[in-house]
C-alpha cells in the first residue's frame, strides 16, 4: 500500500512539472561563483529573458578549472536552444594558451550569439602593505623590494596584468590564486596580499579609505572612476586588459535559433535592473552581433597569446 502511495505521489509531482525543469526552460551555464558581480549581471539578464521569452530561465553556476567546467558542459550539450553559455574572456581566449588538455575547442565547439558586457579592471593596493600613491611609486617600491610583495588573482584575466606589471618593474611578485574576486578581497583588506586586479565592485573600500586604486587596465579612463589614471599614462605599455562577457550556444546551432536568441538578449540588455548590475561592476554594454563576436574573440586570442608567451607561462 505504501509503495502504491509513493508511486502515485511521484506521478503527481511529475505531472505538475516539479520533477524536472520544463522542456522549454533555458539553462544559462556560467563559470562564475554565486554572488559575484558577473553572476549578478547574468541573473538580472536571466530574469529579463524570462519576460522576453515567456519561459523559465535558470542560471547554472559551474565555477572552477579556470572556467573550463562551464565551457565543457555547454560544448557537450545539444544545440537545441535549451543550454546557453555566458562566459568571460578566460574560457575561450585564455585557457587554450595555458591548458595542455583543454576538454573543448574554443571555436569549433561553440556558436557565437552575442557580446554583452565590457569593462576595465583596476589595480587595488592595501595602503599599509604598499604605501604608494601611483604607478611610478609602485614600480619604484617593487624594484627596491624584489620578491617581497604579493598579488591575488582568480584567472588569467587578473593574472596577466600582474605579469605585465612585473615586466615593467623588472622584478617578481608572489602570485596567490583564489577561486573568485570575492574570495580574494578579504585577504587584500586584511593585508595578507598587497594588491589585486579586479573590477569596480571593490570601489566602496576605496571610498572608505581601506584600499587605494592605483590605475585602470583599459586604454582610457573609466567614466565611473575618472580620477584613476590608466597605466599608459604612467608609461606602462601593453596594459590593455578588459573583461568582457558574451553568450554562446553549442556548435551547430541553427542560424534562426541564434538570430532569435541574439535579438532577445539585445532586448533584455537595456533593462534598468541589468544596467544597475553593469554599473556595479564598472561595465558597459558590449552588444556584438555573432560575426563581430567571433572576430573579437579571434583578436583577443592572439593578443592574450602574446602576453602569455612573453610571461613564459607554462601550459599545465
What are the extents of the domains in the chain? 24-119+243-310, 122-234
Would you state the pLDDT for residue 118? 94
Q: Which CATH class is domain 122-234?
A: alpha beta
Cβ(154)–Cβ(90) below 8 Å: no
pTM, entire model = 0.84
Query: Is CATH 3.40.190.150 correct for 24-119+243-310?
Result: yes
d(CA 247, CA 261): 9
Would you state the pLDDT for residue 4? 42
Fold match between domain 24-119+243-310 and domain 122-234? yes
CA distances from 75 to 69, 92, 108, 196 (A): 10, 12, 9, 31
Would you state the pLDDT for residue 183? 85
Cβ(173)–Cβ(141) below 8 Å: no
pLDDT along the chain (316 residues), means of 10: 39 38 78 88 96 93 89 96 94 91 95 96 94 94 93 88 92 89 90 93 93 94 92 88 94 97 97 94 93 96 89 81
Measure the CA angle with vertex 63, ends 62 and 69; round to 5°: 65
Residues in the chain: 316
Amino acid at each position: 500500500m505504501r509503495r502504491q502511495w509513493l508511486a502515485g505521489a511521484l506521478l503527481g509531482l511529475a505531472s505538475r512539472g516539479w520533477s524536472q525543469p520544463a522542456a522549454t526552460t533555458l539553462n544559462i551555464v556560467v563559470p562564475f561563483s554565486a554572488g559575484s558581480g558577473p553572476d549578478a549581471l547574468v541573473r538580472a539578464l536571466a530574469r529579463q529573458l524570462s519576460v522576453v521569452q515567456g519561459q523559465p530561465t535558470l542560471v547554472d553556476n559551474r565555477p572552477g578549472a579556470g572556467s573550463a567546467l562551464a565551457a565543457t558542459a555547454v560544448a557537450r550539450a545539444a544545440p537545441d536552444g535549451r543550454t546557453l553559455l555566458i562566459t568571460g574572456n578566460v574560457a575561450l581566449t585564455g585557457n587554450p594558451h595555458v591548458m595542455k588538455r583543454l576538454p573543448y575547442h574554443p571555436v569549433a565547439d561553440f556558436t557565437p550569439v552575442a557580446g554583452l558586457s565590457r569593462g576595465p579592471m583596476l589595480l587595488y593596493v592595501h595602503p599599509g602593505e604598499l604605501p604608494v600613491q601611483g604607478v611610478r611609486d609602485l614600480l619604484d617600491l617593487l624594484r627596491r623590494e624584489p620578491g617581497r610583495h604579493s598579488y591575488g588573482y582568480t584567472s588569467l584575466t587578473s593574472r596577466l596584468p600582474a605579469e605585465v606589471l612585473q615586466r615593467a618593474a623588472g622584478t617578481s611578485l608572489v602570485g596567490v590564486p583564489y577561486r573568485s574576486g570575492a574570495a580574494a578581497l578579504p585577504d587584500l583588506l586584511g593585508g595578507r596580499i598587497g594588491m589585486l586586479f579586479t573590477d569596480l565592485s571593490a570601489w566602496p573600500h576605496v571610498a572608505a579609505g581601506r584600499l587605494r586604486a592605483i590605475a585602470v587596465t583599459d586604454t582610457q579612463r573609466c567614466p565611473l572612476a575618472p580620477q584613476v589614471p590608466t597605466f599608459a599614462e604612467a608609461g606602462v605599455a601593453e596594459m590593455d586588459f578588459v573583461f568582457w562577457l558574451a553568450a554562446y550556444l553549442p556548435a551547430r546551432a541553427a542560424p534562426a535559433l541564434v538570430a532569435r536568441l541574439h535579438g532577445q538578449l539585445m532586448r533584455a540588455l537595456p533593462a534598468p535592473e541589468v544596467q544597475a548590475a553593469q554599473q556595479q561592476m564598472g561595465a558597459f554594454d558590449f552588444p556584438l552581433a555573432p560575426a563581430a563576436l567571433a572576430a573579437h574573440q579571434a583578436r583577443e586570442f592572439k593578443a592574450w597569446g602574446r602576453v602569455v608567451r612573453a610571461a613564459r607561462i607554462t601550459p599545465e
